[in-house]
Amino acid sequence: MKIQTFFYLLLASYLGTFLRLFIDNNFIISILGSFFVGFIISKRLSYSSEKILLSGFFSCFTSFSGFIYFLYKILNQGDLIRFIIFFNLIIILNLFTMYFGFLISRKIT
């Protein structure tokens, strides 16, 4: 990996983290991140650009730990049914949102 690519990866990671802190809503972040990941994977980007966006920006922006913490809080309250519903709903909704982003990107190009 070139030093310049590494620098851009760090910058994208910083921007994704900063934007995540600015929005401060796990559900909105998850939906936006899924949509734009689907949008990006549909494009024919260079290997380094794809890694910068997907591994840098979106991995820090959508952060799996935010999703897990949200589910942990529900499970810690002892509400197993609500936990199962939210777990499945979040995963299914994000998959559909990612696919929708993929389709929108294909329609644009």
Instruction: Enumerate the H helices of the chain as residue ranges.
Output: 3-23, 26-42, 47-51, 59-62, 64-76, 80-108
Q: Which of 93, 13, 99 minimizes the C-alpha distance to 53? A: 13
3-state percent breakdown (helix, strand, coil) of the chain, nearest 5: 90, 0, 10
Is 70 exceeded by the pLDDT of residue 1? no
Give percent of the chain with pLDDT exceeding 70. 98
pLDDT, position 70: 84
Is residue 16 over pLDDT 70? yes
Q: How many helices (H) and strands (E) does the chain have?
A: 6, 0
Say what the pTM is: 0.83
Q: Where are the domains of the chain?
A: 3-108
Residue 8: is its pLDDT beyond 80? Answer: yes
- Summarised one tens digit per residue, pLDDT across range 90-101 is 899 999 999 999
Do 39 and 105 form a contact (C-beta atoms < 8 A)?
yes
Q: How confident is the model at residue 83, as a pLDDT?
A: 93
Q: Is-contact 41 82, C-beta < 8 A?
A: no
Which tokens sit at 65? Answer: 């730990």
How much is the pLDDT for 88?
92
